[in-house]
Amino acid sequence: MCEDKEKDFNCLNELLRKILLLQRQDFDNECHTGCDKPYLGPVCNNICYNTRPITLFNCCTGNPWSFPYTINSRTNQSTVFRIECLDEDCATFRILYFNEEENKYAGTNEFFTIDLKCIGAIKCLPDTFIELC
């Protein structure tokens, strides 16, 4: 684990909690931009978007976290995820992959749980809709 960065940990926890609430469509009408805007998509329209894809960066190396997934008997690596559950200091993510046929991200049925103190940064990608199994 990285150095104890309680302030950074709280910041990431708060951001992930807000993204999780957005994905569950439990948001307020505050005016924000960027990762903490209170709706998914370019305008307030929760019908077309259900996911804010993110990339997580390792707090020790600065490299993106990468996890394997298998689709159609082929194993690949992904650095794009969807938050599914958030506890006090851990989060569970669904592994996403880029579906080239549809030119958008798609969800897998593969998940991982990570200690939030291992995350040094989060990059938000454009909001999208993914089928959830």
Over its C-alpha atoms, the chain yields an Rg (Å, rounded) of 15
Tens digits of residue pLDDT in 81-128: 999 999 988 999 999 999 999 999 999 999 999 999 999 999 999 999
pTM > 0.85: yes or no: no
Indicate the number of domains in the chain.
1
What is the SS3 assignment for 63? Answer: coil
In a domain, 62, yes or no: yes
In a domain, 107, yes or no: yes
Instruction: Look up the domain containing 86 and give its range.
Output: 6-124
- Residue 13: closest CA among 95, 122, 128: 122
Among candidates 6, 27, 4, 14, which has minimal Cα distance to 91?
14
On whether residue 133 sits in a domain, the answer given is no
pLDDT in tens, 14-47: 999 989 988 887 555 444 556 766 666 665 554 6
Tell me, yes or no, whether 1 lies in a domain: no
Exposure of 55 by Cβ count < 10 A (0-12 exposed, 13-18 middle, 19+ buried)? middle
